[in-house]
Structure 1
Amino acid sequence: MLHQTIPGMFTSPPRQAGFSTARIGGEAWRVYVLRGVDRTVAVAQREIVRDEIASNAAIGAALPAALLIPFSWLLVWLTLHRTLRRLDLLAADLATRGTMATEPLPLHGIPQELTPLITSMNGLIVRLQAALSAQKRFLADAAHTLRTPIAAMQIEIDNLVAGAPLALPRLAALAAGARRSAQLTDRLLRLARLDEPPALPATRFDAARLLLDCVADHAALAARKHIELSATIPPRFLVTGAEDDVRTLFGNLIENAVTYTQAGGTVDISLRRSQAGGCAEVRDNGPGLPEGAQARIFERFFRATPEVAEGTGLGLAIARRIAERHGFGLEVTNRTDAVRGVMATVTMPGSWA
């Protein structure tokens, strides 16, 4: 006898035991048949229902994983960004540090894995600062010690010149050597002081008047060499800084121009407005800078044309250090106006009164 939950599904009991696929009423059914001794049981389910159940199960299993993957990537990105951001800040701190910086690199916020590296770098900074300090102390002490015997030698030479007119040529050469030694000593001392951390007084002064004074200070030297010294300086340009240091900056540039310009040449000094505020220029028609010298012009003891005139090679190094301490721009290049010679340019923030 045939009993069915859905009447009319089977016209006769299925013969094949186990799983099979049958087409009933135009639809595909999945059928499972279990045969016994005196009866047969068949269970059937539409294929479309089975596919729907399988699809829903697959979606239910895959959806959490699909949602977890982007969240995992976001978490990894945020973690890396935070870590690399700290490294970027550390790199920026290193890039903006000057040679006089003594503060250790901060350890706050640095990943634990990088802490030994930063600690080692801090130790290196301390050792480098100690070496630089020792070098600066030696330079300052040596220059200061040399001043007394050089000054005494200069006095004795002057006394000999007064009492021995027949030996004037040799004594004049000795006097010139003593003056050069004294000048070198003074510049070494000034350079040693400029290597110290800046402590600029907050004074406001007229850079135009100061530049004009520097021109007047070098008028005698220009006259002895028959060099025409001209100045185009409008009145009242106010800047903030150390007036004595800026005087040294202007004086070194003018002295260089006069020293390296041949007799009969010209040196033009001017001050004009610029986007930064003011721009001071010192132009000469001397021999100019030889090829490749511009890259080294600010190195200590470097002289681009030693065969033209004597010097210490420290004037431009001192000028650049002063410019850096004041936030001025300083360039020394060959002239670009079809005239042979050198042009030194100082750009300064300030106000025209």
Structure 2
Amino acid sequence: MVPDFGSARSLVGLDAHPAVPLWQANTVPWIKTTDVLEPEERQLWRRYERGLRVVQVGDATRPLSGDKALEWLNEDKLEALLEHLVDEYGTQFRTAITTSQVEDRLEELMEEAGVHRPELMHFGEEKSRNDFEHERVGLVNGYMDPGDDYVLDLLAELDLEAEVETAVDDAGEEYRARGRGFEGEDAETAQEILASVRENHIAQAAGRYARDPTDPDVTATVFVRTDAMPPGFADVQVPGVECVFTDLQEEIVEELRSSKRSKTVREISEAVGCSKEHVRQTLDRLVDTEFGEPSVHVSEGAGTHGATLYSDSGLPSVGYVDLQESPTNPYGDSSRWALAICDPDERGNVDQGMSSRSSDTSTEVWDWRSPPDTCD
């Protein structure tokens, strides 16, 4: 039940990213909003004071709600990502947040990737929960779409109007166009509402980590696999899954990974049951530095009759993932101020409690016990 704000002069929304139409619908239609912090300021506080780093994985939106959620999960790429997180972070990676429609399947995939007793939440239950407050690594997978009815009903409540964007298939049947667009006079407002809802859930989900800004040892890195997040929310963006092996490539890779010695192309092709050319092309691609450091070691002419030998030097089992983060830019502004409110001493002097890292100039401290002599 939303309280009556009709008599309120001002409101403070804590830890919230809703669009203005949502504020208007839940408070009063004439409300005006002002951000307490700009996106960059909020990012700096989150990164340097709270210790939470947000890594955007890829540039896809990835809706994972509705009847087709499991179809859109894209398990092949997700398996590659989970395997990489396990290899990179070991037992530190054990938690994830996603939609309720795919939560159980994501838990199964995490277990298959080697996560011991994974713990998950789903969107809609993440607010005010601190289950993951001390976790060092987390994953937010996809986003929850509120649906067209939610947006259109809210528009009607605000006496606005828009329609969903549609398209026509080859049979002349009309369907909801891809891209989640709207049409009509208030289409931009509809899009703003949609973005606000999904972005707020993402911000809340990532915010389940690093919950104690007073403790410098409580830090976390959260990998967010969607671009549906507030502006400036991600500290860095990484490509994510670059390549997923085909079934045959997986067999070739596993043959090399499981071997205790170097092997020739002929030996691998005979073990897998494919042509030597296919093995050679696969290995050449793995040797290539297109996806970072080579994961196959090559010894040319070291085998019988001068054959080339191949051995594993860090092969992934299902695909290549690039989560190499570019260094986070340091905060270079030297004019951060610290304010201290102090009692004046008996002589009427005050302790100069406000100082700047870039200046030694004394500054008065506000005498909070006495009102100002004048009021402008």
TM category (shorter chain) comes to under 0.3
Larger radius of gyration, structure 1 or 2?
1
TM-score normalised by the chain length of structure 2: 0.17
TM-score normalised by the chain length of structure 1: 0.17
Q: Which has the higher helix share?
A: 1
Higher relative contact order (CA 8 A, sep 6+): 2
